Structure 1
Amino acid sequence: MDIEKQETIRKLVDDLGAQDLVVVIGAADPEVASITAETVTFGDPSFAGPLAGVSLRLPVYHILEPEVKSAIPAEVYEEQAGFMELVADTEEIGRIFTEIRERLERV
């Protein structure tokens, strides 16, 4: 996750608080999606950006997870994210994000 996006997320949390925010990630690559999810939940693992050492504890989902897909009108989802279902490993992404949310509950 680049520095500008980290700054934006941190500003949103500072301005609005974390209690009403949920992060939805759309990276098709499971590793990129995982690092992004970890960054907004537990802090920047590279210790290089504004979220270095900052655990925002934000709930995080992937656009391909059923919980997100069902909350978006079908035609909008298909137009904006449907193609990703053809190329992304949805099972692996779902497993990663479930694991991150479970870790968040335990911390």
Structure 2
Amino acid sequence: MDLEEQGTIKRVVEGSERSRMVVLLGTPNKGSTTMIALTLTQGDPSYAGPLAGVPLGLPIHHILEPEVREAIPADVYAREIGPLEFVLDATGISAALKDVRAR
């Protein structure tokens, strides 16, 4: 997530009803999942962007998590997301989110 994207997200969150927001990630690996999830929950861990020190506290989910999969029609999920399950580290991504949520 670049600095411009952080600024856009900050403006959207500040100008909207935060309690109605949820973040759905499609990140490709554990590392990127951790960094983006931390940025959107606790603030930019690099302290470089507009979200430095700004804990948004947004709920974070990943498209590969079972509870997300269950909320999407099976045929749509199979067509749009299914192939990603073979190439992405779903276990690592889920572990990263579990770790961020526990902080």
Taking structure 1 as the reference length, the TM-score comes to 0.87
Alignment partners' CA distance in 1, 2:64 and 2:70 = 10
Q: Which runs of 5+ in 2 are unaligned?
A: none
Residue matched to 1:79: 79
- CA-based RMSD of the aligned residues comes to 1.3
Residue matched to 1:63: 63
Alignment map for 1:1-107 (pairs within 5 Å): 1-103=1-103
Alignment partners' CA distance in 2, 1:44 and 1:83 = 31
Question: Could you tell me how far 1:79 is from its partner in structure 2?
Answer: 2.6
Residue type of the partner of 1:60? Answer: I
SS of the aligned residue for 2:51 comes to coil
SS of the aligned residue for 1:24 comes to strand
Q: Which runs of 5+ in 1 are unaligned?
A: none
Alignment partners' CA distance in 2, 1:26 and 1:17 = 23
Taking structure 2 as the reference length, the TM-score comes to 0.90
SS of the aligned residue for 1:12 comes to helix
Identical-residue share of aligned pairs (%)? 46
Question: Could you tell me how far 1:75 is from its partner in structure 2?
Answer: 2.2
Question: Could you tell me how far 1:86 is from its partner in structure 2?
Answer: 0.5
What is the number of residues matched between the two proteins?
Answer: 103
